[in-house]
């Protein structure tokens, strides 16, 4: 069984392994000891922080752990509110019309406009599941456990929830979109730019990025083709978020032009459809799969397990194994989502 819990410093080696295996373009997991250590420390501080009534600088990083072997299967996270301490940049795709009635000419063109429109929003991020664990409900658990947390503790998150999806790049980390930007505005390759962003050194973006809108039809054909497209490995994650109600509002990443998707917290399907139930611990024969999370924040736990829920009594039968993984006892409350 996989159980999702807050990360601790003892998980550093496993997090480093995830950073290495995630490859190029995974900005939130740089292969950098200081940054990964700081990320863990900040997460420990954020989970321990009391009386949070609105999101500020909190960052919540979690790991999925195999209860049989103790091996870390992957990582998943949420940033409470981005852009306050370190600027968060994105491109917005807009449309303009160049028209001349006298010449009977109407040209519709699209622009990329540089901005900080997601400042203050909560970001779901750092979702990575190691290849050997990509089976069953593990992927859904790692992604949707964040929505169970949001449903139970909405005061810690913003009204708008968004996610940056990894854009198109090859095995060596070369991005067609960045190649065009590099040729005209930068003198560093994509992997270095991506790495500098991951370790928080974003000053070069404001210094070198074109401030005026960019006409998309002036970009190379290769760059135009990947705007708003996702990396092959990211398609399952995008599909899952789209099924939850996330959609692209014409914002894309400034490096690889991958799409940014967003949804109002109240409209996320997992938030709407999840419900509370009272725990009863017993063996059962139910075949219904659920994602189940305890109601604690500092000691958050989530699992995918078979459970028997009785709507009339509001009680759910959990096995001893599931209850132990969730750190819950008879009579405690949990939040559930049917699968």
Active-site residues, by number, are 231
State the Cα angle at 230 between 229 and 232, rounded to 5°.
130
Report the candidate in 5, 9, 128 with the shortest Cα–Cα distance to residue 73: 128
Which residues, at least 6 apart from 209, have a Cβ–Cβ distance to it below 8 Å? 89, 114, 181, 185, 254
Token reading at 86: 């370190």
d(CA 55, CA 186): 35
Q: Compute the chain's Rg from CA coordinates.
A: 22
Between CA 87 and CA 205 the distance in angstroms is 10
Provide, for the chain, the percentages of residues in helix, strand and coil under a 3-state DSSP scheme, each rounded to the nearest 5: 35, 30, 35
Pairing mode of beta strands 308-310, 315-318: antiparallel
| β-strand partners of 110 | 95
Name beta bridge partners: 77. Answer: 61, 125
DSSP annotation of 200 reads T
Taking the C-alpha atoms of residue 234 and residue 267, their distance in angstroms, rounded to an integer, is 23
């Amino acid at each position: 069984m996989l159980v999702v819990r807050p990360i601790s410093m003892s998980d550093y080696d496993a997090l480093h392994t995830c950073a290495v295996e995630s490859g190029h373009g995974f900005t939130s997991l740089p292969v950098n000891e200081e940054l990964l250590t700081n990320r863990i420390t900040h997460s420990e501080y954020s989970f321990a922080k009391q009386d949070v009534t609105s999101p500020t600088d909190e960052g919540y990083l979690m790991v999925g752990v195999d209860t049989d072997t103790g091996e870390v299967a992957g990582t998943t996270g949420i940033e409470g509110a981005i852009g306050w301490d370190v600027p968060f940049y994105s491109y917005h795709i807009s449309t303009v019309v160049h028209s001349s009635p006298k010449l009977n000419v109407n040209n519709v063109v699209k622009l990329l406009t540089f901005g900080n429109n997601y400042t203050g929003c909560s970001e779901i991020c750092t979702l990575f599941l190691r290849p050997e664990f990509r089976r069953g409900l593990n992927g859904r658990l790692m992604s949707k456990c964040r929505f169970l947390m949001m449903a139970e503790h909405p005061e810690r998150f913003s009204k708008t929830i968004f996610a940056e999806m990894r854009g198109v790049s090859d095995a060596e980390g070369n991005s067609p979109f960045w190649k065009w930007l590099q040729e005209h505005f930068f003198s560093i390759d994509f992997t270095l730019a991506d790495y500098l962003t991951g370790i928080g050194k974003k000053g070069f973006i404001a210094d070198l990025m074109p401030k005026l809108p960019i006409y998309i039809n002036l970009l190379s054909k290769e760059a135009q083709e990947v705007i708003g497209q996702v990396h092959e490995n990211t398609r399952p994650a995008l599909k899952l978020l789209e099924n939850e109600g996330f959609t692209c509002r014409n914002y894309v990443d400034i490096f690889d032009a991958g799409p940014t998707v967003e949804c109002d917290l109240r409209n996320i399907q997992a938030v709407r459809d999840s419900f509370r139930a009272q725990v009863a611990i017993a063996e059962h024969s139910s075949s219904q799969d659920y994602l189940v999370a305890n109601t604690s924040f500092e000691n958050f736990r989530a699992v995918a397990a078979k459970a028997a829920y009785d709507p009339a009594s509001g009680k759910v039968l959990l096995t001893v194994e599931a209850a132990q993984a969730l750190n819950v006892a008879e009579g405690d409350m949990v939040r559930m989502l049917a699968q």
